[in-house]
Amino acid sequence: MDDYRESHRIFLLRHGETDWNRTARYQGITDVPLNGIGIEQAHRLGVRLSRIAPDRVLSSPLSRAAKTAEIIMGVNASSADIETREELREISFGIWEGLSIPEIKEIDGETFKKWRLAPFSCAPEGGDDYADIFERSKELASSLAGEGSRGQNTFVVAHGGILRAITAALLGFSDIDLLWKMRFDNCSITIVDIWEKRPSLLLSNDTWHMRLDGDETIASLIFPY
């Protein structure tokens, strides 16, 4: 019987809320900080993870992710340093950044319509080609899967778009259109286990820590296996 307690467990963690999240504006590589709600969300996420000692902590350089990682580790007994990784920077949305969907439709409606139907067939002006982002994510996923050892825990704190790509790469999806069928809420937890070089999705978009009150109650939530 497989002993998944000996797997390399990768915790994929999205950053807390920003004012642009709250108003549904595209952020991309714009460095928008956490708002008050986002700071509280990050604390709850940290408490939820406080009984997990990470061996490595990787973070996007953008402040909303870096601050989330800092808050998580502020309530964790692990002495692991936070490693800033450029590969975890969010996708650039070019001229759409800072705009809401109605505003994008007004200035760039045709491109937005095409992008929503087939996001890998086009990109906003000045934005990243998602196929290139997926290739970048495959390199990082391969590194994560190859460098981890049995029983190791790795925290990866980043953004919705890049976490979709990393999850798909870790699981070996060949159809990149599946990326947009995954959801990553603010300060959610997604877990991929690597056991004997075989990946498995253990948990997806878990936000139970947002629904309970009290640090002790939140810390008592357990993960499968």
Tell me whether residue 215 is in a domain: yes
Summarised one tens digit per residue, pLDDT across range 98-130 is: 999 999 999 999 999 988 887 777 889 999 988
Listed residue (120, 98, 99, 122) closest to 110, CA to CA: 122
Q: What is residue 1's predicted lDDT score, i.e. its pLDDT?
A: 43
The pLDDT of 70-85, averaged and rounded, is 96
- What are the pLDDT digits (tens) for 49-61? 999 999 999 999 9
Indicate the number of domains in the chain.
1
- Convert the pLDDT of each residue in 33-44 to its tens digit: 999 999 999 999
Range 167-182 average pLDDT: 81
Catalytic residue among 8, 15, 43, 209: 15
Catalytic annotation present for 15? yes
What does the mean pLDDT of the chain come to?
91
Per-residue pLDDT at 146: 77
What is the rounded distance in angstroms from the CA atom of residue 94 to the CA atom of residue 108? 12
Close Cβ partners of 88 (under 8 Å, ≥ 6 residues apart):
58, 59, 60, 61, 65, 140, 156, 157, 158, 159, 162
Question: Residue 58 pairs with which residues in a beta bridge?
Answer: 83, 156
Whole domain around residue 202: which residue ranges? Answer: 4-92+128-219
Residue 62's nearest CA partner among 36, 46, 84, 93 is 84
Whole-angstrom CA distances from 20 to 16, 153, 186, 201, 218 are: 11, 31, 12, 30, 27
The verdict on residue 203 lying in a domain is yes
- In a domain? residue 104: no
pTM (2 d.p.)? 0.94
Residue 209 is among the residues annotated as catalytic for this protein: no
What lies within 8 Å, CB to CB, of 116 at 6+ separation is none
Share of the chain above pLDDT 90, in %: 73
- Give the type of residue at 84: T
Nearest C-alpha neighbor of 110 from the set 98, 97, 125:
125
Question: Would you place residue 5 in the very low, low, confident or very high pLDDT band (cuts 50, 70, 90)?
Answer: low
Query: What is the pLDDT at residue 110?
Result: 94
Q: Are 97 and 28 in contact (CB under 8 A)?
A: yes
pLDDT value at 173 more than 50: yes
The active-site residue out of 8, 17, 43, 90 is 90
21-43 as b/e: b if 16+ CB within 10 A = beeebbbbbbebebbebbbbbbb
CATH label of the domain that carries residue 188: 3.40.50.1240
Indicate whether 163 belongs to any domain: yes
* 120 domain residue, yes or no: no
Give how far Cα 160 sits from Cα of 2, 134, 182, Å.
31, 13, 9
**Residue 121: inside a domain, yes or no?**
no
The burial of 210, by beta-carbon neighbours within 10 Å (0-12 exposed, 13-18 middle, 19 or more buried), is given as: middle
Confidence at residue 218, expressed as pLDDT on a 0 to 100 scale: 94
Average the pLDDT over 164-187 and give the result: 86
Is 118 part of any domain? no
With helix as H, strand as E and coil as C, how does 211-225 read?
A: CCCCHHHHHCCCCCC
Residue 107 belongs to some domain of the structure: no
What per-residue confidence (pLDDT) applies to 133? 85
* Residue 219 burial (10 A CB sphere; 0-12, 13-18, 19+): middle
Check whether 137 has a pLDDT greater than 60: yes
